[in-house]
A and B are shown apart, each in its own frame.
Chain A
Amino acid sequence: MDIQKFFKKRILIVAGHYGSGKTEFAVSLAMQAAAEGISPLAVIDLDVVNPYFRSRECAAKLKAEGVEVQGSFFGHDVTAEIPELSANIRRPLEDESCRVIIDLGGNEAGARILKQFDKYFQGDDFNLAIVLNANRYETRTVPDAIEQIELIENELGIKADYLINNTHLLRETTADDIAKGRRLCSELAESRGYEILCDCYPQGIIDPSVLDKDFMPFGVGMYLRQSWLDK
């Protein structure tokens, strides 16, 4: 997949319903983009609503690939529970040469924090992508998914550009799950004018060659999930 398509604009904001897989997607995108030579590249972890499983936990891995990670003021402290952010977050936002992936927290509550950086989102320098998992209980249907997307769009005052089909059931994912997610995304894209950016598949679990040839497969790793969780 052409990694450049994720960076048609300098900043990609990744938002979505709780547990839709934003962080695993954002980390996977950053790792692949770095591997393909996109530099300078930064991940901004703006998740201040989730106590565990945040992209700052992958900071060392990302930095090893040359990706700048910004987020928590307290040195990516995994137990920081307060919504504190580093002033350094503005650095990649202001560096016009730097590609940026912003990983927001879940739902409109998690998205809200972006409002304090509003001045960076007045122009045309960014895209908003919504990650969707059709196996998530509260985004299984078109009306449910629209409700969640609208809550985020209204909170941010930004209309989403992209949908990212990230429909999976972790290690139980089948190609049918991804196709189900694609159907949901297609209906949403048609009714509301979004562009589908990619169809994610869990790396090592699904062979992308089994997916429909019209799909745009993008491999997502399990960077945050420990292996014993699947015992």
Chain B
Amino acid sequence: MHEMSLCESVVEILAEEARRQGFQRVKTVWLEIGRLASADPEAIRFCFDAVTRATVADGARLEIIDTPGQAWCERCAVTVEIKQRFDACPVCGDFPLRVIDGDALRVKQLEVE
């Protein structure tokens, strides 16, 4: 359940930003969780509520931005969309794919007051 430590890192980032940018409370957090990232959105949601309690983000709404997985096929020399890391290239049906996007775990944006 490393989603718990990921959420603790999110809270640290929020606390740090609150100090730097001088806000009191976070109302909404936009998290980018790529479809190929090593975190489960539902588990993140579950942990987020538990971990934000009594912090600047207590009661904050969590918006998850789901970004598609993208990979480069060396054989076809094209960028293709994949759902899982073990997907075959939809063009040639083979597996020489290298993931180039959709594996990010990022705090994108905050609504604060």
**A and B together in one complex:** no
Residues of B within 8 A of A (CB): none
